[in-house]
Structure 1
Amino acid sequence: MEDLFYFKLFLAFTVGSTMVTLATVAAERLGSRIGGLIGGIPSAVAISLFFIGYTETPQLASEATSTIPLTMGLNGLFLVIYVGLARWGAWIAMAGALFFWVALAFLVILLNFNNFLFSLLFFILSLAGSYLILEKGYHLPSTEKILMPYTPLQILSRAFFSGSIISGAVYLSRVGGPIWGGIMAPFPTIYISTLIIMAKSKGVEFSRRITKPLLVSGMVNVVVYSTAVRYFYVLFGLALGTVLALGISAASTYGIYWFLKKRMS
């Protein structure tokens, strides 16, 4: 039985890294409209929750969503701190933002927090507050079409990082329970890799400017998907629940794409 679990863990890593690679390449190669839609799908969280449900039970995967909105709220604050510290360089900004994220995530685990409604409220306040700080406080200009020509090494590094986080979320759900999995699944993997790549290729100031579209598309889509999973996994099971949640997420992704396009036109 334990061997089967580790096989599923390896499968989670393989599928997760492959899907993130495909999404990254598609977002780069298929143009702004299709690429933007694909890039907005919460692939890492979707795969994490699916494999938590596959290795454990759909009920446990549903329970793991309790902390996901709160963790996504922390991700919004992660971006705000990065922007605030970026004047001292990208690496200092990233280190400071990560330290803040890990400290608060650890506090959530210590408190054994699992209140979904409070988690959702925190997310809404964090999303609104973070957006206002980036827009009004730091006066970040809107960025139009973002061309991200990844090198093969960057794509592989991003895939490995994402696959590790996904398999880590599945493993922690087994040994630590759903709260650990719910904290690990939305770890800001894509934010970190995107900001580092942009800071190195286009400069720190440009990496600050892309935090607004990252904030809106990344945070909202993940919470919409995880909320759908919370109810659909219990009502419809793992397979159908995943399909229905992806459909809800696709509609959300499309709406956010047009919102961002209008805001940046």
Structure 2
Amino acid sequence: MEVPLTLQIAKLLISIGIVLGLSMVAERVSTRVAGLLSGYPLGTAIALFFIGLELSPEFAAESAVHTLAGFTSTLALGGGYLLCGRRNGVAGVLAGTAGGLLCWLAASAILAQIDFNRLSGTLTTLAAILAFTWLYRRVPDTRTTAKGRFSWWALAFRSGLAAAIIFVITGLAHVVPTAWAGILAAFPVTMYPFLVILHLTHGIAPAATVIKHYPAGLGSLLSYALCVSLTYTSLGLALGTLLGFVVATLWLLLWTRLQRWWQSRKVAKFNPN
């Protein structure tokens, strides 16, 4: 199926805007917030939406079922990156990328062999979230320091990498089964370029902070994928996407409130007066 040029341009522009926005959050707000937002349905929403446009809403809805389990592969990518990319600079980025992609591919190959439904896919990723959250418990939080305006090379790099990933995912969706299309849609389209940028400009410490907090934001992604898997066929892509973002936002707000409550409880426990 030939994809219209307007859709290709739309994918390019949306991908650029989202990656740049995440980078600005990390530099101007905090890497912790950026890690949480990396789990917001940004790249996945783009991938599933354009898969639905280019193929069919039914194909995208079925793929979204496998996306639920595919987030486990994304967690594996983060873990592999953290293990292998411990050096600063280009060498660290290359090692982290190699380790992360190898872990992602291994996890994806296993997941693609399983016939997931909505419940089993969600439970698989929930178990992975708990496991990785525990594994990252000793990773320190590190803030970045603002470095002024973005350079042209950084803008071009972010734009090209984000667009390339989106184009690869949506292109492969035309030739792979729905299981692999769903797993590809779970690939960290926004988080991975963001990690590379952060690692190159600030070192591994703040990149590790983003990886540490990424599992906490996955509840929002799970909510989104579950919603669109139920609504794309019956309500269409536009309304299904809108409802997916509403559900994902409500989850993120609820999670943030729970975190604040937990932190205040810990403070009260250590400071009873």
State the TM-score, normalized to the length of structure 2: 0.78
Query: Any conservation in 1 of the 2:144–2:206 contact (CA below 8 Å)?
Result: no
1:173 maps to 173
Matches for 1:244-263 after TM superposition, within 5 Å: 244-258=243-257
* CA pair 241-103 structure 1, distance change in 2 beyond 3 A: same
Query: Any conservation in 1 of the 2:81–2:99 contact (CA below 8 Å)?
Result: yes
CA distance in 2, matches of 1:38, 1:207: 14
CA distance in 2, matches of 1:255, 1:248: 11
**Equivalent position amino acid for 2:166 in 1:** I
CA distance in 2, matches of 1:83, 1:26: 22
1:162 maps to 162
The structure number with the bigger radius of gyration is 2
1:187 maps to 187
Identity of aligned residues (%): 22
**Equivalent position amino acid for 2:80 in 1:** I
Matches for 1:71-82 after TM superposition, within 5 Å: 71-82=70-81
CA distance in 2, matches of 1:175, 1:88: 37
* CA pair 40-71 structure 1, distance change in 2 beyond 3 A: closer
CA distance in 2, matches of 1:124, 1:102: 20
**Equivalent position amino acid for 2:71 in 1:** M
**Equivalent position amino acid for 2:219 in 1:** V
Root-mean-square deviation (Å):
3.1
- CA-to-partner distance for each residue in 1:190-223, whole Å, 9 max, x for gaps? 3332332333333223322332222322x22221
1:103 maps to 106
Counting matched residue pairs gives 255
Local SS of the residue matching 1:41: coil
2:269 maps to none
**Equivalent position amino acid for 2:53 in 1:** Y
* CA pair 257-157 structure 1, distance change in 2 beyond 3 A: farther
Matches for 1:218-229 after TM superposition, within 5 Å: 219-229=218-228
- CA-to-partner distance for each residue in 1:147-180, whole Å, 9 max, x for gaps? 5655443343223222222232222222223223
Query: Any conservation in 1 of the 2:173–2:181 contact (CA below 8 Å)?
Result: yes
**Equivalent position amino acid for 1:106 in 2:** A
Structure 1 residue 57: deviation in Å? Answer: 1.7
Local SS of the residue matching 2:187: coil
**Equivalent position amino acid for 1:57 in 2:** S
Which ranges in structure 1 are unaligned for 5 or more consecutive residues?
none
CA distance in 2, matches of 1:208, 1:28: 13
Structure 1 residue 29: deviation in Å? Answer: 8.1
Query: Any conservation in 1 of the 2:141–2:206 contact (CA below 8 Å)?
Result: no
Say whether 1:123 aligns with 2:125.
yes
Moved more, 18-27 or 241-250: 18-27
Local SS of the residue matching 1:175: coil
Structure 1 residue 8: deviation in Å? Answer: 5.8
Which ranges in structure 2 are unaligned for 5 or more consecutive residues?
265-273
1:93 maps to 96
* CA pair 197-62 structure 1, distance change in 2 beyond 3 A: same
- CA-to-partner distance for each residue in 1:5-51, whole Å, 9 max, x for gaps? 2436514532432442463366368756xx86866532211111111
Query: Any conservation in 2 of the 1:12–1:51 contact (CA below 8 Å)?
Result: no
Query: Any conservation in 1 of the 2:232–2:240 contact (CA below 8 Å)?
Result: yes
Local SS of the residue matching 2:136: helix
2:61 maps to 62
**Equivalent position amino acid for 2:103 in 1:** F
**Equivalent position amino acid for 1:195 in 2:** L
Query: Any conservation in 1 of the 2:77–2:102 contact (CA below 8 Å)?
Result: no
CA distance in 2, matches of 1:98, 1:148: 29
* CA pair 168-248 structure 1, distance change in 2 beyond 3 A: same
CA distance in 1, matches of 2:250, 2:109: 33
1:47 maps to 46
- CA-to-partner distance for each residue in 1:101-123, whole Å, 9 max, x for gaps? 123323444x2644332221110
